Amino acid sequence: MKKILVVDDEENIRKLYKEELEEMGYEVTAASDGALALAAMDAAKFDLVTLDMRMKGMDGIETLRRLKEKDSAVPVVISTAYEEYKHDFGSWASDAYIVKSADTAALRDAVKKILG
């Protein structure tokens, strides 16, 4: 079973993503900020990470950089309320960029496309 790490500082989003992705058959771990996400990466190996951009403490761009230092091969899907991070070169290291929506179809499509 493939493992996904969901990083988001909104509890309800973490809960929604976890339920939606588990329903698709993945094992999901959630982290509420960048530091916790990096710690989770140390504890286990993940097949995919969904990453929020604006978070308290370490932001998404910084988390993405450090995360890739630990495991440059892990695919990252940026999931954010902002459209403009798309143009931030720091986000180019990600494998997909979706704008958060009540309709999680975009997220599910991006994950399915990466993990098959």
Q: Which residues bind another protein (CB under 8 A)?
A: 10, 12-13, 15-16, 19-20, 54, 81-83, 99-104
State which residue, 19 or 109, has the beta carbon closest to another protein. 19
Q: Minimal distance in Å, beta carbon 90 to another protein?
A: 17
Q: What is the DSSP letter of 94?
A: S
Q: Minimal distance in Å, beta carbon 19 to another protein?
A: 6
The dihedrals phi and psi of 33, each to the nearest 5 degrees, come to: -155, 180
State which residue, 74 or 106, has the beta carbon closest to another protein. 106
Strand extents, DSSP E, the chain:
3-7, 27-31, 48-51, 76-80, 96-99
Q: What is the DSSP string of 37-69?
A: HHHHHHHS--SEEEE-SS-SSS-HHHHHHHHHH
State which residue, 42 or 103, has the beta carbon closest to another protein. 103
Q: Minimal distance in Å, beta carbon 13 to another protein?
A: 6
